[in-house]
Chain A
């Protein structure tokens, strides 16, 4: 088990800077998820930790030791690749044994570890098969097993679930969570799927263009997104954003006028926010409910009945579209005129720089 430190890590390909300067301390035993849109540099970062990609500047430490110049095999890490990367000509057993034989683990010990991993991952009947004789999910389990038998200081995962179908993805996700509970080894996981990040992580690092946008537990990031980017990236459906102008505050909390002319009392303390001329109000669908008494009105457009709740797409009087949530048996129908109730304590304000202000 080992912690990982990234100190001033920089990566450039030729003239383009992919990662400007990255500082991060990954604690021993934590499940850290890098989350970000495609192309933001998550894989590059993971591959630099693995040693598959050299850093342009900076230092990488694993378990307190500087490994910046070490070969991938010397870093006491195991990696699970997106496309499994199993050795096609080797059986499942040979795939798992290969890395152990290379470091001269005794045969009896190799057997013991493979047997144990095979039992844990339900691969017992497949040890003599070649990868081509396995299904996608089974291959992914072999790839995980190959990492597990190495008993590494930390696991690295690069979007390991993205090639699986939805049902299998859910199941493997739970298996990974279970694996982490059992082994308690450091895990670093890269994904662009926020559901994976929310469910697996003990800590999420949200990345954007090679930078850390926000770091925190899944709930922190969901409740108090630090920037408009994070607010828009996390949560499904995406947060509603409505242009707003601050109006004279009477109470301790900021009051804004929304783009459609109605006024909205937020829970954001007055002294917290900068007095920007323009703000953006953000509210998630679950905090925006139907209420005919509300002055904010619009026309229901599309109704999505998801079973446990109903999503209502509402076009405001100024043409702006927002998503609200209604009760699962709500009688609302497409074309209805509806009022929208904002829960003040769940309204976020974003200033012109994109920084967020939350209710106290």
Chain B
């Protein structure tokens, strides 16, 4: 279809000059048009074979477990005795009245609310500060990203040493300042914030890199135009940089919400959910119900709740960022 649109411009046709100009303007239209209409003609079912391997893997690794999980959550499964019985929504009703579960939900939400804004704000701040091509910038970028490659066991080990009662780095610093030392991991008010701090320290590198990549996509010329337009530093940041990063902010926020809803390792290894269940997240609850108490149905029901919450969280964010976009598009 492209070819037939271009024909008038082929040499040898009359009015070559005029034909050339029509071709020039028709080209983008041709490119657009060719991508729109569906390919006409015989649809060969065998073409589906090309996507079959992917579809099989997708079904085996995603669809089957999700459906199985959903089915499990409607059953009472006792792994030890091998009993299984359909009980409808009884698992969910039980969850509703389970204080530990409700605590876990509260903790998980608090944790997401503490970490996600920090990832966005801190990641952006770091990216802005380190978006330079000198050696210091490169070194610091490497350092900040470096901690992300550590495994959760090492990270939590290091931080437990830092927080250690009376002997840790934190205790030493507080002593030297003349303050009474505390171990935040043993305080029900501070345990979750401490885990949040460790988490941000651990994987701030990814958001930073995403923001850096986005910053480098902004053409230098529009900053020069802004400079000619008398925009100061803040004005430039708010009116040029931030709007250009809107999509990346949304991306980082969505990634982090999904990731941080699944908090598990850090809590398990640093506080084991304590003290007093004050830092037990949902995934740990699911793990304990499923693999320590072997109540698979109950555990699966909790997992469905987590799934639903994450879905709601992400949908909410997409809605907010979409709304922000259309609003800024309409305002003049």
Contacts and interface: CB of A to CB of B under 8 A. Distances in A.
Interface of A: 50-52, 71-74, 77-79, 81, 83, 85-91, 93-94, 98-99, 102-103, 127-128, 130, 146, 150, 165, 167
B166 interface: no
Contacts of A87: 222, 225-226, 239-240
A74 B240 CA distance: 19
Given A87-B226, A98-B231, A127-B332, 10 more contacts: A52-B224, A72-B228, A73-B229, A85-B225, A87-B222, A87-B240, A89-B243, A99-B228, A102-B230, A102-B232
A79 B328 contact: no
A85 B222 contact: yes
Nearest to B332: A93
Nearest to A127: B332
19 contacts: A52-B227, A72-B227, A73-B227, A79-B224, A79-B225, A79-B228, A85-B221, A88-B222, A88-B244, A89-B244, A89-B246, A91-B332, A94-B332, A98-B229, A99-B230, A102-B231, A102-B232, A103-B230, A165-B24
A106 to B, nearest CB: 16
B228 A130 contact: no
B53 interface: no
Q: Which of B222, B229, B231 has the most CB of A within 10 A?
A: B229
B231 A128 contact: no
Interface string B213-240: 0000001011011111111100100011
Nearest to B221: A85
Given A87-B240, A98-B239, A165-B24, A71 B227 contact: yes
Contacts of A83: 219, 221
A90 B21 CA distance: 31
Contacts of A167: 21
Given A71-B227, A87-B240, A102 B222 contact: no
A128 B332 contact: yes
B329 interface: yes
A71 B228 CA distance: 8
Contacts of B329: 130
Nearest to A83: B221
A85 B332 contact: no
Nearest to B244: A89
Given A73-B229, A91-B332, A85 B219 contact: yes
B230 A73 contact: yes
Interface in B223-271: 224-232, 235, 239-240, 243-244, 246
B6 to A, nearest CB: 17
Interface in B1-41: 21, 24
Contacts of A88: 222, 244
B222 A73 contact: no
Nearest to A52: B224
A99 B228 CA distance: 8
A128 B332 CA distance: 7
A90 B228 CA distance: 17
Among B24, B225, B329, the one with the most A-chain Cβ atoms within 10 Å of its Cβ is: B225
Contacts of B232: 102
A103 B232 CA distance: 11
A110 to B, nearest CB: 11
Chain A CB within 10 A, most for which of B240, B246, B328, B332:
B332
B234 to A, nearest CB: 11
Contacts of B225: 79, 81, 85-87, 146
A148 to B, nearest CB: 13
Interface string B180-196: 00000000000000000
B25 to A, nearest CB: 9
B235 A102 contact: yes
Nearest to A81: B221
Contacts of A99: 228-231
A27 B328 CA distance: 43
Contacts of A150: 229
A127 B332 CA distance: 9
A89 B227 CA distance: 17
A117 to B, nearest CB: 15
B206 to A, nearest CB: 25
Contacts of B228: 50, 52, 72-73, 77-79, 99
A343 B235 CA distance: 63
A51 B332 CA distance: 30
Contacts of B243: 89-90
Contacts of B231: 73, 98-99, 102
Contacts of A146: 225, 229
Interface in B197-219: 219
A150 B246 CA distance: 29
Contacts of A86: 222, 225
A19 to B, nearest CB: 19
B224 A81 contact: yes
A52 B223 CA distance: 10
The 7 A-B pairs with the shortest beta carbon distances in the complex, nearest first, are A73-B230, A99-B229, A85-B221, A85-B225, A102-B230, A89-B243, A72-B227
Nearest to B246: A89
Contacts of B227: 51-52, 71-73
A88 B241 CA distance: 11
Contacts of B224: 50, 52, 72, 79, 81, 85
A72 B229 CA distance: 8
A119 to B, nearest CB: 18
Nearest to B227: A72
B15 to A, nearest CB: 15
A90 B221 CA distance: 15
Contacts of A89: 243-244, 246, 328
Nearest to B232: A102
Most chain A Cβ neighbours within 10 Å, of B222, B227, B230, B232: B230
Nearest to A152: B228
A90 B329 CA distance: 8
A351 B244 CA distance: 57
Contacts of B328: 89
Contacts of A93: 332
Interface string B90-104: 000000000000000
